[in-house]
Structure 1
Amino acid sequence: MVPSSRAAARAERRARARSATRTAVLAVALPSVAALGVFAAAVASAHPPPHRPPSAAPLPGGPDRQAAARPELPDRADRTSRQPADLTAEPAARRTGEEEQAAASARRFSLPVARPGLSAVFGEPGAHWSARHTGIDFPVSSGTPVLAVTDGAVGTQWHPAYGRLATVTAPDGTRTLYGHLRAYRILRGPVRAGEVIGWSGSTGNSTGPHLHFEVRPDGETPVDPVPWLLERGLDPR
């Protein structure tokens, strides 16, 4: 064979080899592409794309009807949903404060003896007084504890008519008098309402054991102790 024939034979063999290679590659690649297409279709059917609603068509009836059909704005809904204020809270709190104040006021005062009941009242005439009775009398037995009616300062003295007399001067100047005492517990000094200052007796111008009690708001002029005590939540009757 001549050289040109051999070259031509070699070229033909190389062409056949390349053709066989392309056929093999296509035989492998085409099924793979088909498989990928099937997989993509399965994924698309399992996860469909989100639904996009069509653009809203204008409502019939013009702008006024469209505005009426819109939902309320959030800020307007909040304003209309607020509950009215509780109008009973403040009066209830005020009543509670007044009750506490009344209770505190009552704690600042005390009856002069533990057992109420009167044997003589204010302004009563009688042979035992130079004019009229200037206080009230509690018919208690001798030795009954006598209590300070107010906070204040205690003073004591002997008086021909009152016998052993104790006085308590309150911070506002009111003086309370306790007459005919058998003995003193406090001669002088500070005292709290309800504290024992002495014991009842029958000293001075007295016909028997009792406590004579007076109230003098200005420190000098006696007034009826009954309404004065009642105003402070205490009933001596």
Structure 2
Amino acid sequence: MKKKIILRFLLLIIIIVISFNIFQYFTSNTNSQLLSDLEGTVYYTERIEGVLTLFKSDASLQNKTLIYSHKGKGNDSYGDYNDNIIDFYYDKTSKTIYFIAMNNGSWSLFSLKEKENKPTLLQKEVMETDKGYIQNQFNKLTVSSKKGSLYLLENGNEKTIKKFYGLYDEKFTGYQPIGFSPDGKYLVYHSMEHLTPFGTLLEGFVNNSFGNTYIMDLSTMESAKFIDAYKIQWIID
């Protein structure tokens, strides 16, 4: 009886792995070369050892630079730590990044100028700052997700730009838009990478992560893997 259960479980895993590869094969139109055409600088948070940490890089994903880690500084006043940076905004005029992090039990606003290492505490009891994150609207373009597929609305005309083939679940399958590039030529989106919710959950259990983030060239509909982040500020000088 136990052998049958184990065999069924192994068979299920094999089916999920195969379906994952089939999903990527039939739904991905990838072109890693498109990254080299991207301009500007992106600011984002990435989870390092469980902590959301501030980084920047060229939009082409070259020259990745650590801006600031709050690790070991997020005393929550209960004897524990929350070192995550939950919100941020880069002001290119003053060349200063503002961010929200825990400080002695309260979410607080800090500032950090370029080439500085120690942030300045500006205000306590702050939960958000000015946001410059990429958005799902750009001029007359709007992107949305319906039952896992991505739709682009332009001048009143809507078309499918990324079709999801699988068992749709709002949390565990399909595509979700993150935002347009500053020039409106590219779209950043997230893919859960599985045809079924169970496949996503199993991958999350094994890898402790869900899906991947991509960037799409809207002129060719080709995509490439991009920064694994939802909050992205993209600046083109």
TM-score, with length taken from structure 1: 0.26
| Higher helix proportion (structure 1 or 2) | 1
Kindly name which structure, 1 or 2, has the bigger radius of gyration based on alpha carbons. 1
Choose between structure 1 and 2: higher strand proportion: 2
